[in-house]
Structure 1
Amino acid sequence: MKVSTFGSDSSEKSDFDNAICLTGYGRFHYQIIAVCALSILVVGFQNGILSYIFPAAQCELHLTSFQQGLLNVAFLAGGTISCFVWGILADMVGRRSVLIATHLLNASVTILMSTNPYTGSLVACRFLNGFFIGGPGSIIYSYFAEFQPPKYRTSSVCYCGLFFTVAWLLLPLLAHLVLPLTIEVTVGSLFVLTPWRLFLILVALPEILVGLWLIRMPESPKFYVAKGCPRKALVVLRRMYATNSGRSPEYFPVKNLITERNNEIGSGDKMMCQGRVARVLKEMGQQAKSLFVPPLLGITVLTSSIMFANMFGMFGLGLWLPELFIRFEQFQTLHPNASISVRELSSLPPPSKNLSCSPSLDASVIRSTVAMGVTSLLFNGLASYVSTKTTARVITMVTMLLGGVSAGLIYWMRSSMQNLVLACVFQATMIASNMSTAGIAVDLFPTKVNGIAVCMVVCAGRIGAVVSNFVFGFLMDKNCELPIFIVTAVVILGGCLCFVVPIPKNREVIDMASSFGKNDMEISVVSGKFR
């Protein structure tokens, strides 16, 4: 191991974790919280908009049930395919650049979708929505956490995740205000602006704001350290200090930043002699490969399995619960004093659809959606507070086990109120465990591959969502107990896996131990001068 010092002053040196603590906690962090919260909010919007535009667009576009399902699958497929792309790019060119590009591109696709009169092109747009939103859907957690001092990293990710739940509260309220409107504005000879198209445009506006806002924010200083650019990291840290304290950046006490980096001079020179595309592909291959060899292989498999179990339940049973609630409501309207089991209810014909082109949202659907959203918000707030007292793996374990038990109990419920209570518990625990699993990934993976690692974990979860939808599609109407108990078993198994999640080590130790097979490390003390 070699020690090298760059610059004249090496007296006031610090490692990254200590340096970011010295920036304080104030106005800069509130800005990061605001922009990342808005980013997570629009990710939640994209995941939920189809539930509200389906009834409105069904008559105008003559959508069949198969086409509606195809739109859902296209979105999930786009998000699954994009995980590796955005994760690798985030670790190569930076989190901020990827977030800006994906948000602005996704907003453009959403606006294009609002002008589209053809079902086939809507499917293509939803695929692109999933592809682009897959970037901020996972990278935003790495970007946000890397500005936080070690003490607050896990809890801050959980708190930021609350805004995914807030999206589920705002969407039905926005839909309730916009979709019942009776407007038809002909835009040239292209399309007629109807309420559901206006709804899509309104959803795209905050995403444009996020993209423009991120342009004014800095890159993650932790990313700069991982890429061997401590001078740039110091510039960001000084900006954080100045914004938080109101003092000049020159008063920041850290003048020299200690970093660990690979001593791969020969390899680097060789890569510089290659073409840009070859260098990019080689680095992409190295980053992806590092997740599937020790010491990261076990962590990759473990965290991916937990996220698979979580989203298998959340996007399988979770998406079916509102439909079940409507069936209970319709049955009890026709038979006020009768009760019915889930097995008997699932054999009844699907709820009648409103074929009117002037859609209205059923009040019971709004009440149930808002109730689940409020419960999830309160529960996630509690989980975020508890995360400051315990570890992310404990939160994930407890919430997954609670979610699995509530999923199993759904089979025995006999009223819409019982369904609503269990739906609230299941949804709240699944969202809380989803966010805490992301926190586990941020803690356990080294910074230089954190972006692709978190995307890998989210990708595994999306695969679980697709598999779960197929399971429910094939089994729900004929053997409803099978998918319910499958979800129960998978979610509980995911909770049990949390018992073997390792306790996070010091970040610098992780970064050193996970170098791409290189033992020759260099500790550099770099003096950065503010510019």
Structure 2
Amino acid sequence: MVKDKTSESMDFDQAIHLTGYGKFHFEAFTACAICIISVGFQNGLSAYILPAAQCELDLTSFQLSLLNVCFLVGGALSSFLWGVLADARGRRKILIITHLLNAAVTIICVTNPSVFSIIICRFLNGFLIGAPGSIIFSYLAEFQPPKYRSAIICYSGIFFTSSWLLLPLLAWLILPIDISVTVGSVIKITSWRVFLIILVIPEVVAGFWFMRLPESPKFFLAKGDQRKALAVLRKMFVVNTGRPAKDFPVKSLVREVRVATFEDNLRCRGKTVKNLQEMFGQFKSLFRPPLVFLTLLTTSIMFTNMFGTFGLGWWLPELFVRFERFQALNPNSTVTVKQLALFNTIKPASCKPSFEAAVIRSTIIMGVSSILTNAFSGWLAARVSLRTIPFGTMLVGGTSASLIYWLTASWQNLIIASIFQSAMVTANMTIGSVVVELFPTNVGAMAICLTMCAGRIGAMASNVIFGLLMDQHCEIPIFVVAASVLVGAGLCYFIPSQKGHKGGCADLEVAVISSFDTKM
């Protein structure tokens, strides 16, 4: 029986606890899961469409690499924009707009025969998908009561991993199909274009589903709109409990101390100037005491994580292919990774890519192991300190990366690759959870986007190193990744220790506003 506290003001965490936990949270989690799957599809689809598109479009090696790099550059450049817009205008609105726009861009990519326009589309894909890829964790977390917040973010990582499990299965089913239909004299429909259309479906579903859901109540409270925040909390209460809104015991909320971002002083100015000023104000607040340490720490950890995840991680499927083909040609020979790096596996480009069953099986095993690890980390998150999971998974990831150089068989590669991928993907999700927990709501989305930007820069740097050195000096990028990830593990030790709740975050927010006032 919940004690009636209608005569008291409550803080947000107390109020959201009284909404119960039920249908509303399950619906919000499902919508966010579809969003995360669509983000995973966009991040991983290049590995499957490029072999098919290469023949049709006569792509050079430079153009192939440009498609990947442009996607990452788009994501990095948009990070600050989405962060400030989400903090200023709301998470839900940005999620709806970017999902539907990104789906439209992908459809344009499908119907366009020009290589240059497809490169532009992939840049725009990266630019737009960077929004849900970053702020979805803020949106999801801000509906959760404190004791579930970290665990839910960890569980959400299952769906990012699931997308990388579904991609090879869909590619295996669709890409080998002989499809060649010309509409008019310009539009040509082939298997890889059909594949892209299918991958758009979750984005469209997510975009329209977010229209059903409300804005984060914590966002409204951070903006000083207590009436709207209470309206959302009452809706959650009604959906979860089936009781009328008048039974919700909270009548007023303690307003969250917000980080000043010049918004209140800019109401008479144009929207563009106002948004730029607020972006600058939020960015400055992240690099002032007491947030500067957390900002540098989380961005550095994410840089090292994505340096490994999207460097070595993107090369692992190719390693499976090389092991299988080498052993098919040399069934009685042992092989080292150094030999595989020098082993020429490039075949004439084909519009009918084949997918070896062994490679598909290995990819599925990696995906399943990652899902299980994410699920376990979700259970563990509510029972250990905030830094334990990222520290442990990064330590395991760095150690397993260093072992890859000494592999001599495909089964060894499968075991180490599964450990590495599971650890790194889980670490990636939990680092996002750390940012959500540690930063004040008013700069939370900006902090996540800045962290993701640092990660994408790490991914770009790693891809350049692997592209330049993998075929001739594979030991260099492998050990650079291992060292980088282990450094990231060491940095995780300095994450402030909290157990599944905000803890001293209110004190941090007071310190932030005090710091700002002294500088004004």
SS of the aligned residue for 2:453 comes to helix
- Give the deviation of 1:434 after TM superposition: 0.3
Shift of 1:135: 0.2
Distance 1:72 1:269, change over 3 A: closer
Within the candidate set 291, 295, 318, 1:296 is matched to 291
- Aligned 8 A contact 2:258 2:509 in 1: no
* Equivalence for 1:27: 23
The separation in 2 between residues aligned to 1:471 and 1:249, in whole angstroms, is: 57
| Superposed CA offset, 1:254-308 (max 9, x none) | 011111446989x766422333333222222111110111111000000001000
Contact 2:76–2:127 under 8 Å retained in 1: yes
Which of 257, 277, 281 matches 1:282? Answer: 277
Question: 2:175 aligned to 173, 176, 179, which one?
Answer: 179
Contact 2:259 2:440 (8 Å CA) reproduced: no
* Bigger Cα displacement from structure 2, 398-407 vs 353-362: 353-362
- Aligned counterpart, 2:352: 358
What is the root-mean-square deviation in Å for CA atoms of aligned residues? 1.8
d(CA) in 1 for partners of 2:324, 2:48: 19
Task: Kindly state the Cα deviation for residue 178 of structure 1 after the two structures are TM-superposed.
Answer: 1.4
1:197 alignment counterpart: 193
Question: Residue 186 of structure 1: SS of its match in structure 2?
Answer: strand
The 2-side partners of 1:53 and 1:269 are apart by 48
Q: Which amino acid aligns with 1:440?
A: V
Look up the match of 1:97.
Answer: 93
- The reply on whether 1:469 has 2:467 as its aligned counterpart is no
AA aligned to 1:303 is T
Give the structure 1 partner of residue 158 of structure 2. Answer: 162
Determine if contact 1:306/1:497 at 8 Å carries over to the other structure.
Answer: yes
Whether 2:223 is the aligned partner of 1:227: answer: yes
Report the Cα offset of residue 210 of structure 1: 0.6
1:514 equivalenced with 2:508 (yes/no):
no
Distance verdict in 2 for CA 1:424–1:354, change over 3 Å: farther
Q: Could you state the TM-score of these two structures normalised by the residue count of structure 1? A: 0.93
TM-score (norm. length: structure 2) = 0.95
Are the aligned partners of 1:12 and 1:253 in contact in 2 as well (CA < 8 Å)? no
1:30 counterpart SS class: helix
Q: In 2, distance between residues paired with 1:358 and 1:340?
A: 29
Q: CA deviation at 1:220?
A: 0.3
Structure-2 separation of matches of 1:422 and 1:269: 53
Q: Which runs of 4+ in 1 moved over 3 A?
A: 260-265, 267-270, 504-507, 516-520
* 1:276 counterpart letter in structure 2: K
Paired residue for 1:339? 334
Distance 2:155 2:421 in 1: 17
- 1:263 and 1:306 mapped to 2: Cα distance? 24
Cα drift, residue 395 of structure 1: 0.2
Q: Which amino acid in 2 is paired with 1:374?
A: V
Instruction: State the partner residue of 2:300.
Output: 305
Distance 1:154 1:123, change over 3 A: same
Structure 1: distance between partners of 2:95 and 2:419 = 32
Partner of 2:403: 409
- Distance in 2 separating the partners of 1:113 and 1:476: 30
Deviations 1:133-152, CA, capped at 9 Å, x for gaps = 00000100000000000111
1:387–1:276: structure 2 CA closer, same or farther, 3 Å change rule?
A: same
CA distance in 2, matches of 1:327, 1:279: 54
Q: Deviations over 1:109-149 (max 9, x none)?
A: 11111111111111100000000000000100000000000
Structure 1: distance between partners of 2:105 and 2:264: 40
Corresponding residue for residue 114 of structure 1: 110
Relative to structure 1, the CA distance from residue 210 to residue 268 in structure 2 (aligned partners, 3 Å threshold; closer, same or farther) is closer
Does the CA contact (< 8 Å) of 1:228 and 1:261 recur in 2?
Answer: no
Gaps of 5+ in 1: 1-8, 521-531
Cα distance in 1 for residues equivalent to 2:446 and 2:58: 40
Partner Cα separation in structure 1 for residue 373 and residue 258 of structure 2: 43
**Counterparts in 2 of 1:80 and 1:396: CA distance versus 1, 3 Å:** same
Give the alignment of 1:367-406 within 5 angstroms. Answer: 367-406=361-400
> Percent of counterpart pairs with the same letter?
54
* CA pair 174-264 structure 1, distance change in 2 beyond 3 A: closer
- In the alignment, what sits opposite 1:326? 321
Q: CA deviation at 1:496?
A: 0.7
Name the CA distance, whole Å, in 2 between partners of 1:377 and 1:211.
Answer: 25
**What is the distance in 2 between the residues matched to 1:516 and 1:290?**
11
Query: Are residues 382 and 261 of structure 1, via their aligned partners in 2, closer, same or farther at CA, if it must alter by over 3 Å?
Result: closer
Distance 1:263 1:322, change over 3 A: closer
Distance 1:212 1:13 in 2: 35
Deviations 1:338-388 (A, max 9, x none): 102112221222x13253322332222211211111111111111111112
Matched, 1:215 2:217: no
Q: How far apart are the structure 2 equivalents of 1:470 and 1:355?
A: 23
* 1:36 is the counterpart of 2:59: no
Cα deviation for residue 98 of structure 1 reads: 0.6
Q: Please tell me whether the aligned partners of residues 311 and 461 of structure 1 are also in contact (alpha carbons under 8 angstroms).
A: yes
Instruction: Identify which of 461, 472, 492 aligns with 1:478.
Output: 472
Does the CA-based 8 Å contact 1:55-1:354 persist in structure 2? Answer: no
**Which of 497, 504, 512 is matched with 1:503 structurally?**
497
Compare 321-330 and 425-434 and name the one that shifted more.
321-330
| Displacement of 1:10 | 7.4
SS of residue paired to 2:303: helix
> Which amino acid is the alignment partner of residue 314 of structure 1?
T
Q: Shift of the alpha carbon at 1:244?
A: 0.1
Query: 2 CA distance for matches of 1:202 and 1:275?
Result: 41
| Equivalent of 1:246 in 242, 257, 263 | 242
In structure 2, C-alpha distance between the alignment counterparts of 1:150 and 1:234, rounded to whole Å? 18
- Larger mean CA deviation between 289-298 and 274-283 belongs to 274-283
Q: Is the 8 A contact 1:317 1:484 kept in 2?
A: yes
| Structure 1 residues 264 and 10, CA gap change in structure 2 (3 angstroms) | farther
Q: State the alpha-carbon separation in 2 of the partners of residues 216 and 463 from structure 1.
A: 34
1:488 and 2:482 are equivalent in the alignment:
yes
| Alpha-carbon offset, residue 518 of structure 1 | 4.2
1:16 aligns with 2:12: yes
2:58 pairs, out of 52, 56, 62, with 62
Local SS of the residue matching 1:517 = helix
**Distance in 2, Cα, partners of 1:303 & 1:137:** 16
Q: Cα gap change, 1:512/1:18 in structure 2, threshold over 3 Å: closer, same or farther?
A: same
Q: Work out which of the residue numbers 410, 418, 427 in structure 2 matches 1:424.
A: 418
Between Structure 1 and Structure 2, how many residues are aligned? 510
